[in-house]
Amino acid sequence: MIAYQLIGVWSHHGATFDARQARRLIASLVALFIGPGILVNWILKEISHRPRPRNTDLFGGLHPFVPAGDFSGSCISNCSFVSGESAAAGWLFCYAIFLVPNRLKLLLSPPLIAVSISAPVMRVAYGGHYVSDVVLAWLGAVVIFIGILYLFKEKETTIVKHH
């Protein structure tokens, strides 16, 4: 959807080009890359060493339980803390709120928001993550998205002030 929106924005030139919308779409891609991409999947999941709930002794697994934030667990890779799917779901929530075109908001935002909430719930229900894993990931992605959107907006106002 974002690629389609960017192509639509970039296909306009001159007075019909919406630079603000282009910056917002690019900001959303940057937020997706930084939040769920780099921070969650490349960094936190690889250094946390927290086993997934279904793999811990609390739920019949072999690994001992490790609390959130304690990086001394026995998981080797693709560990529980934090949830990549939940981070992507938090990003999707922001997309539904900030970037779905107004003419489609009533149609698209409710199902996107429902998916953004149900996906983390399902990760907990199937033993893939603890509640703390999904809440922190979801909220972290929202904070990153809003922060990057704000930074891009600040850049926009700085450019306008200088011209």
Average pLDDT over residues 3-31: 73
Is residue 79 a contact partner of residue 51, using CB atoms and an 8 Å limit? yes
Degrees to nearest 5, angle at CA 9 with 5 and 14: 175
State the pLDDT confidence band at 79, using cuts at 50, 70 and 90: confident
- Name 21's bridge partners: none
Gap between the Cα atoms of 39 and 32, Å rounded: 10
Task: Please report the pLDDT score of residue 45 as a whole number.
Answer: 85
Q: What is the largest CA-CA distance in the chain?
A: 64
Smallest CA-to-CA distance from 26 within 156, 160, 140, 163 is with 156
Half-sphere exposure of 157 (CA within 13 A, CB side): 5
Gap between the Cα atoms of 17 and 20, Å rounded: 9
Q: To the nearest whole percent, how much of the chain has pLDDT over 70?
A: 82
What is this structure's pTM? 0.83
Tens digit of pLDDT for each residue in 113-144?
A: 999 999 999 999 999 999 999 999 999 999 99
**Rg value, the chain, Cα:** 19
Tens digit of pLDDT for each residue in 27-52?
A: 999 999 999 999 998 998 888 899 99
